[in-house]
Amino acid sequence: MGKMVFVLMLCIFGLVGPYSVQAEQTESIKAKEHQKKIVTKKQLELPETLIRFVYDTGYTFEYPEDGVRGVYVTGNSAGGQRFNYLLELLNSTDLNAMVIDIKDDHGYLTYRPEEDSPFYDISKKFIGDPEKLMKTLEENEIYPIARIVVFKDSVLAEKKPEWSFKDNGKVWKNGRGEAFVNPFLKEVWDYNIAIAEKAAKMGFKEIQFDYVRFPEGFERRDDVLEYKVGEYADGEDNVQKRVTAVADFVAYAKAQLSSYDVDVSVDIFGYAATIKEAPGIGQNFTKISENVDVISSMIYPSHWTPYFGIDKPDLYPYELTKAYAKVENEVLSSLKNPPISRPWIQDFTAAWLGSGNYKSYGSKEVEAQIRALNEEGINEFLLWNASNRYTEGVTYKP
């Protein structure tokens, strides 16, 4: 095998990344707007030159010097009247980033691609003018993150039942009527990565993958549902097969996106950091963290059962957040190249927990979570509110 082929293989499998080589020279060939740069880099210990192609969107977005502090934005909000409110919120506070749905929780693209695109039929015109959106974000110095929901995908499951899980020959759905596609199948991986590549070409600086997991409680269904296991048929038990498949997807996605100037992040259940691995859903916090630039644990106090010695976590946003941050820091400190920690925190009221189990969340509660993170050395966070209505008067640098 020639040295050049060997280097390219190392790159493809993630063993040689874009920052593990020393830049020798850079040449760029520019077209009118969107073009590609040819970046030549020399491998430190190998005599031959490795050529990498890095896509240039033409936009200029700088990573915030003091860290990302962002809000979640649906496709409807990004393309509708609420966007003006969100724009004003970021321009008048220390918030500086938006996590925007590009593939939503149902499986739809939130904008219309070209008509000959294989994704046109599963797209919605929530964001009517993506180019205008990106230019507005650039002009207002708002860091753009594309959220892509991966394995929860009712649209794809119905379109490709053979890529999903079946129950008596029909696509299986959970109690909320949601279908999942199969993390064991590389076809599903490539489908989502192709959407991620489109987001990167649109100008997003980070691809955030959500629902990178099997359905909740899958360990009770793995011997009942009908599904393929692809390349994972032999060797490990069912739990480790799921864990390996999920971790492999993350590593594969990062390698496939290495030709774009984007970070890769993953949303993950908060409790995954507190245990060796979540066996049913296949999430191993350490293995996922090893292959991303950013890890975003969903640590909403309302979503915990009694934990860390706290009987009703939603009533104690500061204590819950601080206890979690201590555990996460310990786990990440054991990694050779730990990712940035950027947790999702709660900016909503969980009234469904019932009287005595929840409290109304306002500026005090949001600031308490941020303060707890800051005290543990975590300076980045994302605010979640499904309706994109965020608390007024919050000090985001308490």
Decide if 225 is inside a domain.
yes
Phi, psi of 261 (to 5 degrees): -80, 65
pLDDT at 46: 35
pLDDT at 52: 52
Q: Between 268 and 38, where is the model more confident? A: 268
Q: What is the pLDDT of residues 218-268, one digit of tens each?
A: 999 999 999 999 999 987 799 999 999 999 999 999 999 999 999 999 999
Token look-up 């644990």 returns: 297
In terms of domains, do 28 and 76 share one?
Answer: no
User: Beta strands of 43-133 (E only): which ranges?
Assistant: 49-56, 69-73, 97-103, 109-111, 123-127
- Among residues 40, 56, 72, the one where a domain terminates is 56
- Tell me the pLDDT band of 11, cut-offs 50, 70 and 90: very low
In terms of domains, do 51 and 101 share one?
Answer: no
pLDDT at 27: 33
In terms of domains, do 138 and 233 share one?
Answer: yes
Region 311-329 average pLDDT: 98
- Among residues 56, 73, 97, the one where a domain terminates is 56
> What's the pTM value of the predicted model, to 2 decimals?
0.86
In terms of domains, do 128 and 247 share one?
Answer: yes
Residue percentage of the chain with pLDDT more than 70 = 87
Which DSSP symbol is given to 234? S
Residues 6+ apart with CB under 8 A from 140: 87, 90, 91
Q: Are 124 and 75 in contact (CB under 8 A)?
A: yes
In terms of domains, do 46 and 79 share one?
Answer: no
Decide if 21 is inside a domain.
yes
Decide if 267 is inside a domain.
yes
pLDDT at 54: 74
Decide if 327 is inside a domain.
no
Token look-up 């949303």 returns: 267
In terms of domains, do 163 and 278 share one?
Answer: yes
Decide if 198 is inside a domain.
yes
In terms of domains, do 33 and 114 share one?
Answer: no
In terms of domains, do 34 and 87 share one?
Answer: no
Assess whether pLDDT exceeds 90 at residue 16: no
pLDDT at 236: 79
In terms of domains, do 96 and 25 share one?
Answer: no
pLDDT at 53: 65
Half-sphere exposure of 362 (CA within 13 A, CB side): 3
Residue type, 319: E
In terms of domains, do 129 and 274 share one?
Answer: yes
Decide if 27 is inside a domain.
yes
- Among residues 298, 328, 348, the one where a domain terminates is 298
Phi, psi of 152 (to 5 degrees): -90, 110
Q: How far apart are CA 128 and CA 369, in angstroms?
A: 35
Residue percentage of the chain with pLDDT more than 90 = 84
Region 32-50 average pLDDT: 34
- Tell me the pLDDT band of 32, cut-offs 50, 70 and 90: very low
In terms of domains, do 13 and 102 share one?
Answer: no
In terms of domains, do 10 and 125 share one?
Answer: no
List beta partners, residue 59: none
Instruction: Summarize the chain as % helix, strand, coil (round to 5).
Output: 35, 25, 40
Decide if 239 is inside a domain.
yes
Question: 87-100 as b/e, with b when 16 or more CB fall inside 10 Å?
Answer: eebbeebebbbbbb
Residue 175's domain comprises 58-298
Assess whether pLDDT exceeds 90 at residue 397: yes
Decide if 336 is inside a domain.
no
- Domain total for the chain? 2
CATH number of residue 241's parent domain: 3.20.20.80
